[in-house]
Chains A and B, each alone.
Chain A
Amino acid sequence: MAKKTSSDLDLGELELAAGNGLVDRRGFLNRAGSAAGILGTGLASLAVSPAQADPLKVQDWTKTPGLGFTAYGQPSQYENGVGRGPIVEPNAMYKTGPGSIRSPLQFLDGMITPNGLHFERSHNGIPDIKPDEHRLLIHGLVKRPQVFTLEALSRYPMTSRISFVECAGNSGSLYGKTAADGTAQTLHGLLSCAEWTGVSLALLLDEAGVDPKAKWLLAEGADAASMTRSIPLAKALDDAMIPLYQNGERLRPSNGYPMRLLVPGYQGNMNVKWLHRLKLTEGPTMTRDETSRYSLLLKEGKVAQFKFPLDAKAVITKPSPGLTMKGAGLYEISGLAWSGNGKIVRVDVSADGGKSFAPAVLSEPVLSKALTRFRLPWKWDGGPAVLQARAVDDTGYVQPTRDALVAARGNSPAYHNNAITNWAVAVDGGLKHVYA
């Protein structure tokens, strides 16, 4: 007999770390022998396996030469159910116009979003920009106003960073009075993470010579919405960049081709796509998308403007609504955690609706302002359960419950909802979004 397999595990002996079957993260890993072996398997296969496997067949694909090569690869045809959605177009009168489409978080694993599944949000369609004719203008309070071509920018030293982008409106339905029916994708899918490669904004600003009076800059897109947002100069000099590449290839049109702004951790909308103008100014310009939109309407009608970083949040993607659990047994709970203020240091998971929590394993690498994958084994007894994940970042900030967030802000802010999500597990293995 070689090593024990997952089905050999004596579930009764696992060390429990919190109520309703949450298994201690160390105990499970040690007993399984190899963390990769266990954690790499799918949701259903972690359940206790049936008594006897079917006889093994030599399949046709093993006896027939396979297909040839293609210039740009596509996912397996058997994965064609994995896609972005739903397409939100407010009205048939404006077929493109403002809209969005969400990443299928519950079907992905790891921390990186494939380029074809990165969420999209645009305010008047995706422009078809000819790269040779695109220009980036830097002007306003600078000594040397100047224009860059894509070719010129491509000659600059490149920097890379892995960073999430999250729409400020993501998870917004959790401000509502009743729990919206939905999945990780439809409730939280205005969220993605990529490796962005491009030019440091501080470097370009230094070349332009920033006037000491400048404290903000206006970033403008070349799309038909001329999306404009004011960015604090301090942020621009700290960690902002102008990505030309996304996960190794040129930006996708829907993500700003040929160049965009990246302000790590800040409201998605500030990462202006199709970037063509940066104007250094003394104060914020007070554009429509930083006054009428992307501001938070609080209780008593007060409005919080320029809340930029997206605070720490965790979402369980597996299991989650749409993925049915197949009978009592051992499962892996896994999900994503992130903070616009820094690094995730802990994710606590609960299976009893927040009465007790156990800390999850954080998959390396754990990076500042990037998605972090967390995992924790769970021995489901087949009874009702309510799953939660709660993120803690390196500023000490602890993700709030929905009750606490709504008590502080009311039901109307629309943006920056980072409340803890509850997934209720029913005895038939189905999951549903509920309020505690």
Chain B
Amino acid sequence: MFTRNALGAALLVLVAGQVIAAETPHLGTPVTPADIAAWDTSISPDGTGLPPGKGSAAQGKEIYALKCTGCHGVAGEGKPADRLTGGQGSLATDAPIKTVGSYWPYATTLFDYVRRAMPLNEPMSLTNDEVYAVSAYVLSLNGLIGEKTELNAKTLPKIKMPNHDSFFIVYPGNLK
């Protein structure tokens, strides 16, 4: 409802003292859910959007060695690109280390991001099983799951990230 009200203001045009609702072009083409599936890859924190598939850290270790080590270092220790492991307990110190394990509030973000953006030189090249597996490996390096834990659409959203409760949402307010 409030959409309409906000729009009322935007679309009302004053002509010779009379207020009329402007017609808008309506030039979008309808599209079905099946047609948008390839693009609709974002995943919410409750796991909505996670695809079928599965993987464990044991399987992810190999994929990581092949596709990630070059930029994120052995066991995610970083260099040349972002460090992915460790840093827990460092955030309140003078030298905070922000990693998936120390900083990230949601495990779902890891799947979402790796699937869309990594490896940097070949984004979207991993299968869903590979993304589950390599995510499991990064989480296990951070001590958040065991090596054999199977990551899938059900188990991934249940992982509680250690820094989750440090986050607070500023909007709709502001931080001074």
**A300–B105 contact, CB under 8 A?**
no
Nearest neighbor of A306 in chain B, beta-carbon distance:
B171
- Besides A145-B31, A286-B45, 20 more A-B contacts (Cβ < 8 Å) are A90-B81, A123-B117, A137-B39, A145-B32, A146-B30, A146-B31, A149-B29, A152-B28, A156-B24, A156-B25, A202-B10, A212-B2, A237-B2, A238-B6, A283-B45, A286-B105, A287-B113, A303-B105, A305-B168, A411-B94
Interface membership of B163, Cβ < 8 A: yes
**A291–B40 contact, CB under 8 A?**
no
A279 to B96, CA, bound (A): 34
Candidate in B3, B71, B120, B121 with the most chain A CB atoms within 10 angstroms: B3
Nearest neighbor of A233 in chain B, beta-carbon distance:
B3
Closest CB pairs A-B (n = 6): A146-B28, A301-B92, A301-B91, A152-B27, A91-B80, A288-B113
**A286–B44 contact, CB under 8 A?**
yes
A228 to B96, CA, bound (A): 25
Output the least CB separation between B163 and chain A (Å): 7
Residues of A within 8 A of B10 (CB): 200, 202-203
Residues of B within 8 A of A157 (CB): 22, 24-25
Interface membership of A9, Cβ < 8 A: no
**A202–B80 contact, CB under 8 A?**
no
**A292–B27 contact, CB under 8 A?**
no
Output the least CB separation between B122 and chain A (Å): 9
Residues of A within 8 A of B1 (CB): 212
A146 to B26, CA, bound (A): 10
Residues of A within 8 A of B137 (CB): none
Residues of A within 8 A of B123 (CB): 124, 224-226
Interface membership of A249, Cβ < 8 A: no
A301 to B169, CA, bound (A): 14
Q: Size range of the interface on B?
A: 35 or more
Interface membership of B140, Cβ < 8 A: no
Candidate in B28, B45, B116, B166 with the most chain A CB atoms within 10 angstroms: B28
**Given A144-B28, A281-B44, A286-B44 in contact, is the A297-B96 Cβ separation under 8 Å?**
yes
Chain B 78-107 interface 0/1 with A at a Cβ cutoff of 8 Å (1 = within)? 001100000000011010101010011110
Output the least CB separation between B144 and chain A (Å): 15
Interface membership of B108, Cβ < 8 A: yes
A144 to B32, CA, bound (A): 9
**A218–B42 contact, CB under 8 A?**
yes
A210 to B2, CA, bound (A): 10
Output the least CB separation between B27 and chain A (Å): 4
Residues of B within 8 A of A130 (CB): none
Nearest neighbor of B117 in chain A, beta-carbon distance:
A225
A220 to B116, CA, bound (A): 11
Contact among A145, A156, A306 for B36, CB-based, below 8 A:
A145
A31 to B122, CA, bound (A): 64
**B104–A93 contact, CB under 8 A?**
no
Residues of B within 8 A of A341 (CB): 174
Output the least CB separation between A284 and chain B (Å): 8
A431 to B152, CA, bound (A): 58
Residues of B within 8 A of A93 (CB): 70-71, 80-81
Residues of A within 8 A of B163 (CB): 301, 303
**A292–B3 contact, CB under 8 A?**
no
Output the least CB separation between A76 and chain B (Å): 39
**B44–A283 contact, CB under 8 A?**
yes
**A147–B170 contact, CB under 8 A?**
no
Residues of B within 8 A of A207 (CB): 24, 26, 28
Residues of A within 8 A of B28 (CB): 138, 144, 146-148, 152, 204, 207-208
**Given A146-B28, A206-B3 in contact, is the A306-B170 Cβ separation under 8 Å?**
yes
Nearest neighbor of B170 in chain A, beta-carbon distance:
A307
Interface membership of A343, Cβ < 8 A: no
**A137–B25 contact, CB under 8 A?**
no
Interface membership of A232, Cβ < 8 A: yes
15 contacts between A and B (CB under 8 A): A90-B81, A124-B123, A139-B40, A146-B30, A147-B31, A156-B24, A157-B24, A207-B28, A218-B42, A226-B117, A286-B44, A287-B109, A288-B109, A292-B100, A303-B103
A424 to B6, CA, bound (A): 48
A301 to B36, CA, bound (A): 40
**A304–B92 contact, CB under 8 A?**
no
**B113–A148 contact, CB under 8 A?**
no
**Which chain A residues in 101-133 approach chain B with CB under 8 Å?**
123-124
Output the least CB separation between A348 and chain B (Å): 19
Output the least CB separation between B142 and chain A (Å): 13
**B167–A295 contact, CB under 8 A?**
yes
**Given A137-B36, A291-B106, A303-B167 in contact, is the A237-B7 Cβ separation under 8 Å?**
yes
Output the least CB separation between B115 and chain A (Å): 9
Interface membership of A160, Cβ < 8 A: no
